[in-house]
Structure 1
Amino acid sequence: MDEGPAAEQAPHRVKRVSMADVARLAGVSSQTVSRVSNGHAGVVPDTREQVLEAMRELGYRPNSAARALKRGEFRTIGVVLFTLSTTGNVRTLEAIASSAAEEGYAITLLPVAAPTHDEVRGAFTRLGELAVDAFIVIMEVHLLDAATVALPPGVQVAVADSNAGDRYSVVDTDQAGGAGTAVRHLLDLGHRTVWHLAGPEESFAAQRRADTWRAALTDAGRPVPPMIRGDWSADSGYRAGLRLAEEPGCTAVFAANDQMALGLLSALHEKGRAVPEEVSVVGFDDIPEAGSFLPPLTTVHQDFAEVGRRLVQGVLRQLRTESAEPGTTLVPTRLVERASTAPPPAPRQRSGKAV
C-alpha cells in the first residue's frame, strides 16, 4: 500500500545507545563500562580498550548530565563579565579557560549586555539555572551590590579586578604597585611632574591607578597636573594627546592602559611632539603589540595568565573545602622599559637664561 509523501517525510528516530548495549558488545559488565566511561583506574588495559572500541563502534556518548547529578558536580565554572572589548578581560578569560581545562573543568560564559543592576541580576539568575559548580566574576564591585544581586545558593564565587575583598575572594593585579612604579620611573628620569591619562570613572582599576599617580606626585613634592579622563580606547587616547600636545610643560605622561597610550602616541606625532625626545610615555598592560608601537612602549606588565590561574584555583579550593574566606590576592607587576621614555629635554636658553 502506497502511504504517500507524508510517510516518506516522517522523521526517523535513532535509538539512543545505552551503557548496556556497550557492555553486551564488549562482553563485560555495565559496571566496567561505567568505570571506563568515568576514567576510573583499576580497569585492565586490554579490557579498557575493548570497551572503548565498543563505544566507538556503537557511537556511544556518556550522559554527562546524569553523571553530574550522580556525583553532585558538573565540572563546569561559570564566568560572568561585562565586556570583551578590553585587553585585560579577554586575556584573563583566556587564562581562566586554559587553567580550568587543565583541571578537567569546562567554562560557561555569560556576558552581561549592559553595566546595570537589572542586567547583573538577570545574569546571576540565569547562572543559578545553569549546571555550574562555581563562578568567576570579571566585573566592577558596584555591580555586585549584595542588596540587589542574589547569588545562587551553594555556588562558590571568585572575583577579578575589584575592591570587594571584604565580601568575596578577589584576585587582582597589584594596580597600585604598577602605577607607582610607572610614575617613579618618569620622575627618576628627571621629569618635573607626570600627567595622567586615566581610565573611565566607574573602573576600580582606573581609580587605583589614578589615586596612586596622585599620591606618588604628592609624596615626591611635585605639582599634580589636571587629570585627563579616557575610556580605555585608542580613540580617547588620541583626543587626550591632541590636548596634551598643546601643553608646553608636559614632558611625561602615564597612560592607564596601552590602547590609550597608542592613541596618545599618534596624536603627539601628528602635532610634531617627538617621543621620547620631548614627551615620555608609559602605558599599563604590556599587550603583545606594545613592543611594536612607534616608538616601542615602556609599560607596566600585568600577568593575566597568573590572575586567571589563581581565580580558577581559588574557586576549586572553595569547592573542595566547601568554604570561602573573603580577601584579596594581588599578582605582582613589573615595568618593561622600552624606547618611549627618556630624560626630559634640556631647558632652552635665551639671552643666557634658561627658558
Structure 2
Amino acid sequence: MLGSPFGLAEDRQLPSELGTLQVHTVADGLANPWAVAFLPDGQGFLVSERPGNLRRISPEGAISAPLVGVPKVYATGQGGLLDVVLSPDFATDRLVYLSYAEAGDGAAGTTVGRGRLSADTTALEGFEVIFRQQPKLSNGVHFGSRLVFDRDGHLFIALGDNNDRPTAQALDKLQGKLVRLYPDGSIPQDNPFVGQTGARAEIWSYGHRNQQGAALNPWTGRLWTHEHGPRGGDEINIPEAGKNYGWPLATHGINYSMLPIPEAKGEVVEGTEAPHHVWEKSPAISGMAFYDAERFPAWQHNLFIGALAGQALIRLQLQGDEVVHEERLLQSLDVRIRDVRQGPDGYLYLLTDAPNGKLLRLGL
C-alpha cells in the first residue's frame, strides 16, 4: 500500500463487490459543498460551497475562513459557487478557475473566471472573468457546470440549458452547450462553428440538458460528460466537435408532471447522437472521476459518478469505452453525492450535498 499524506483515522466500513470500503470523514460542517480540487505538495484541498465561499481544508481537516477575492455569486435555487479547478500550470502561475451563477439582465447564467491563489492561500488575487453564458436566462436552475482542461491545454466548460429547453438547439445561444476555450477565454480557431453565421464560436457540442459531470478519460484523452435528464434519461456522452446530443428533441425521459417533453420526437432522432450510456430511471448524477491510480488495482478502469436523488456513488466498470457493469455504493449512508475526484494519493474524495456537508475519503 502506498503511503497517504493525510493520515486520517477510519470511521466507517461498508461492503462492496470488490472489498470492504473504508470511509473516512476528512471534514464536515461545509455549506452545500460543490467541488473539490487538490493543492500540490500535500497542502490540502480547495472546496467550493454553493452559497458563495471558497475554503481551504488542511490535510488534517481544518477548514479555513472564506478566501478573499471570490466573486459575488447568484446563490438562488441551484445557483451559487460551483466548480473549482487548478490551472494545468498551477505550479508556476497559481491560477484557480471557478464557475459560478451570476445575476444580470433580470436573470442569471453561468460565468467562469480565474484568480491567483495567494502565497498564504487566504485569497484569490486579480480575479478576472473569462467567459459568460449568454444570454442570461435562468431563474435559479440548470447552470451546469464542470470545468476540464484537456491534454492540449483547452478549457472545456459543460453548461446547462437554464431550463429553457429550445435554447439547447439554438447555436446563437450558449445554453445547453459544451464550450471549448483557451485558458484566457479566447476562442480556438479550430472550434467547429468558428466563422459560421448565427452560431457562437465558443461551442464545441450542443443539445445538452444540465451537465454536472465532466472528466478526461486517462486512457484515451477524450472528454466524457454527463447530464441530468428530466424524469428519466440521465446520460453519459463522449462529445465530438459540432455534434448534436439531442436535447430536447431526443430524450429517454418525460416531464416531472408525467407528461411528455413537448419538443421530443423519440429516444433516437435522426441527426442527433444517441447517449453513450443512459439511465432510464434518473439517479440525478453529479461529479465524475475515472480511476487509474495504482493504490487500488480492483478499481482500475472504473468510472465513479455521484448520485444526488439516488444517494449513492455509482461505480461503472469499463471495457475500453463500454460500460459492462454497474454497482451502487454508500447507499446506507443516505447522503447526496455532489462531487467525486481521484486524489493524488490514489484515494477517492467525495463531497456530500447538505447544509452540513462533508468531504469524505474512500478506499478499499
Question: Which structure has the bigger radius of gyration?
Answer: 1
TM over 0.5: same fold? no
Larger relative contact order (C-alpha < 8 A, sep ≥ 6)? 1
- For normalisation by structure 2, the TM-score amounts to 0.24
- For normalisation by structure 1, the TM-score amounts to 0.25
Which protein is richer in strand relative to its size? 2
